[in-house]
Chain A
Amino acid sequence: MNVGPNEKRREDALKNALIQIFYTDTIGSCHVENAVEFLRPIPNEKIGQILRLVRLISGSVSDLLAFSFMENCSKALEYLDLDQMEEWVTKALSIYEAQGLHPATEFLSRPHETALSFGNSKRVATLEDVAGKLSILASGLTERTIRFEPSNTPFTDGETVYLPRTFSRFRNLEENLLFLKISAIHKISQIRFNSFLAPKDILIKLFPELDELKSEVDRPGIVHLLNILSERFKKTDILNLYSLIETIRIEKRLEEDFNGLKRDLFSFKNNLLKSIGPENSLMGNDAISQIGRFILMNYDPKFLPKDKSLRGYVKRLLKRNSTNIDSLNTLKFLLKNQNVINTLPLKGPFFYVGTINLSKLEIKILERRKKLEKKFVEILGALIVKNQCKGPLKKELEKASKDLKNTPSITDDIDSALAMVFQKGHCKDKKDSFLNCEHIILHENQDLLEKLKGVGREIMEDLGKIPSSYVSSTLDLATGYYDPTLLLDSKKEEAPSFLFFSYPEWDFRRGDYRENWCTVKEMHSNRASGNFIETTLRKYKGQVETLRRQFELMRQDFMCEKRQKDGQEIDIDAYVEAYTDLKARLSPTERLYYRLKQDRRDIAVLFLVDMSASTEGWVNQAIKESLVLLTHAIELVGDQYGIYGFSGMRRTGCQYFIIKDFNEGLTNTVKERIIGITSRDYTRMGPAIRHSTNKLKEVEARIKILLVLSDGKPEDYDEYKGPYAIEDTRMALFEARQYGVKPFCITIDKEARSYLPRLYGAANYIFVPDVRLLHKRVPEIYRVLTT
């Protein structure tokens, strides 16, 4: 390593000091070299104090712990001043006393977490500080749910924004918080303004010389392109260059649309300018420096690149209608003029721009592509099924499906794709159609159509077209599709202690039930012990307290019953009416009183918990936590409730688990069954719902609610999937309503599925994308539903 004479002297001094401290046979000289390396970043004015602490640790307890301290002390200094550092060390020593070397080392090895409670954390901005607010802002900006996760360098994979867990490079907290915010906004804008998606055709046109681009047609366009370019131009940091160019485009767009963010960007750039030292010369005349300068100077026209052609490209980026293609064009220009490219001297101040992680992006883009295809097929399928009531349409569809398969042509846009499907039979808002419809004309189709268009637009951003296969596979699904021949289960499970029930299933293709199609086996759920309940109640202490207040209020609801035959007070309205009736020679009513009575809530709720394999892990844990909090709260109100779980495999193997029967109290056995809830097999929802309805039928209550907690779609091992499963579930819910049961579904999933409104009815479900919020959401939903 290249070290100046001063450095050398300092190093020798350090070495000497360390040898004095550790002068024993156990410490070899290579360890000392390591230690010098650890201490190199410590500024001179602090090194004395640090060495004192090293001596303290090694002298009083352990050399190994002292090494661990040295290894981490430069990091810890980011959070602590020297006084606080001493406290931090004292804490480590006491951990050593109490628990031994390993926990103490562990404590010291996480300065970013353990040091925070010691203090000058006042300056340190943490991701937790900002993530909550920013994720809400991010939803507003992108119409998606965006998560935040820690990482050393900022980047995004298109769904999650990765940011440093803590940041403290600026002088005060405010500036550090602003850094995290601006960096987050930059990532969010890459998503909002589409930095990473472009149809391949366009890119091939833009870079016709790159033959590789034409191969591997399915790789996401921009990711593939950037990969190829990085290979070709090894000396240039293509990814950073592209990010930098995109920065102009996306920040400019942000500034135009959001005054507040514009101000934030302005003060952020000021902070940056203040913080970069003279060695970070902004004076370069190469293209990158010119671009960097323009960004740092907050797009002051005075700092537009001097180079005339470059200026043209940059000006194009400033236009409102610029796209990522303009950025790629600029990139292409810069790469052609190799001479304007050196390295990137500006990495320091542009830390906030972060990096691009091509492999993570690619994974997410491909995942998203699949999801969008599925969504598209689902919505289109739902639309078709809805419009299927008339027989001839089905024939039309089958024909359209065949035609589509025979023409390799690509459907160019959504409208024409839709036109193919809906040419016939679609009820338009034409005047005379009103007269044909005897019933209400609900515009639910409109809703679905709009969603379909939205999904279509997202697909186009990536692929530039809707592949015809998307449409034809929908048609398959909606018409002939799955072979209904079933693998018949030969062996029937028999166990005397189980109860068996048999239920029909709705086959929407035939428009009829399959009688006695499913067998439901009812049994008690497994028990498990442990302190899960206590831990959960402790973990959410604050929430438990709030719930107690809210739920006690519910119990004390008073209701004023008007127009009663007897009661505490005279009902003035009724009295006046009776009096006037009398005068008008009508026979007056006798119901002249009102009664204040404690509202007998008279509610029975059945919780139906999805115990399918897909709930394994976090979801299962969250469901259990929610049940603990909820049961705790309901006990205060005194509503009747039962908890049941379901899973199983195949129509003859539906399982229904009793966790808490309606007539059971919240006993220890019940608690153990809650703890014992585990994930099992598949999700055949129909039979479980039908069985629950039967259970509710036997309960006496004015209001009966069936609350389903599940993590997504009904699906079994056999043909029970897609529209078949959805339509059967829908029918089961419909049957429940016929018996006066109000179904409501809580769906835990990362993304709202388009079939949910069809399945549950728009107002009868809620969708919780973040399982970490489930424990909050469930009791809240219960409260809203029953008041």
Chain B
Amino acid sequence: MESDQRLSSFFISKKPFYLPVGNEIELAEIAYSHCLPLLLKGPTGCGKTRFMEYMAWRLKRPLFTVSCHDDLSTSDLVGRYLIKGGETIWMDGPLTLAVKNGGICYLDEVVEARKDTTVVIHPLADDRRKLPIEKLGIILDASKEFMLVISYNPGYQSVLKDLKPSTRQRFIAIDFRYPDEEHERKIVEIEAEIDHGLSANLVKLGRMTRRLKEQGLQEGASTRLLIHAGKLIKSGIDVNLACEVAICQPLTDDEELLNGLKEMIKAVF
């Protein structure tokens, strides 16, 4: 009963707002129907997480999201024993829950996790589709509904963190990038609940910031940052200030770049 309740909280009951940008929904559905794991590549804040929420809703499967970090252990994924009232009880981790319940397990920013942690997904990713749980001494078979999804940001330039080819090669990849101008405008407008003109300007600014790679800005403003700025403006904060704190400052500490970015804000608004 309790676990049912726990499980139901992983279903997404309300349709998340997701504006398709290309054929990503179609691709994901094909991957799902062929029991293939999915790799979402793309810069941060471009809609990967939102997309998975939407897919989970669409496929009517529970979604188990894990944000990866370098301290993540295998137990965090698979499960561990807990002590309750002097007794030990086994507690499934998100990966196990997903396998048992035919859900979607989404490992966000997977390169952040240590390699010895992520090895557990290998037998799940290939056609064995099995999850060994060492501590319980069992091997779970994933049902047809189970889907493994990982995401990573290829723009990440630290060579110390890269996906092993043997891991990569098991996946179907969908390339996410920032939506085109038209779509992005709509997304920002709806998400920040602002008017069309303001969202158009925010998107214009965002796109300008993405052209500064050669000036030393690795990543420009993401859709998420634009939405943040939109929300701030809507709550009554001055446009320039909102853009500065929500867009410029998060992007860089470099004085020269900041001045240039401010110049952009001044030009657009």
Q: Which residues of A contact B (CB under 8 A)?
A: 132-137, 139-141, 143, 145, 257-261, 264, 429, 431, 434-435, 439-443, 446-447, 562, 573, 576-577, 579-581, 583-584, 586, 703, 705, 742, 744, 752, 762-764, 766-770, 773, 776-777, 780, 784-787
Contact = CB atoms under 8 A, between A and B. Distances in A.
B23 A140 contact: no
B264 A764 contact: no
A429 B260 contact: no
A440 B260 contact: no
A752 B39 CA distance: 28
Contact of A133 (B27, B31, B34, B260): B260
Nearest to B174: A443
A456 to B, nearest CB: 18
A132 B255 CA distance: 11
Interface in B156-193: 156-160, 162, 168-175
Given A132-B259, A259-B201, A440-B171, 9 more contacts: A137-B264, A431-B30, A434-B172, A446-B175, A447-B175, A573-B73, A576-B83, A784-B157, A785-B157
Interface residues of B, number: 57
Contacts of A586: 81, 135
A261 B264 CA distance: 10
A442 B214 contact: no
21 contacts: A133-B260, A133-B262, A136-B260, A137-B264, A140-B267, A258-B204, A260-B266, A261-B267, A429-B27, A434-B31, A440-B173, A441-B173, A443-B175, A577-B80, A580-B81, A580-B83, A583-B81, A762-B155, A764-B159, A766-B157, A773-B216
A705 B159 contact: yes
Say what secondary structure dominates the interface of chain B.
mixed
Say what secondary structure dominates the interface of chain A.
helix
Interface of B: 23, 27, 30-31, 34, 36, 39, 71, 73, 75, 80-83, 87-88, 90, 135, 154-160, 162, 168-175, 201, 204, 208-209, 211-216, 256-257, 259-269
Given A441-B173, A762-B154, A767-B214, A136 B264 contact: yes
B267 A581 contact: no
Contacts of A768: 214
Contacts of B157: 763, 766, 784-785
Given A431-B30, A440-B173, A137 B158 contact: no
A140 B159 contact: no
A145 B208 contact: no
A135 B261 CA distance: 11
B217 to A, nearest CB: 9
A140 B211 contact: yes
B88 A580 contact: yes
A573 B268 CA distance: 51
A258 B197 CA distance: 12
A143 B201 CA distance: 17
A583 B259 contact: no
Contacts of A133: 259-260, 262-263
Contacts of A139: 208, 211-212, 214-215
Contacts of B80: 577, 580
A385 B257 CA distance: 38
A744 B158 CA distance: 10
Nearest to A581: B81
A685 to B, nearest CB: 19
B30 A140 contact: no
Contacts of A780: 216
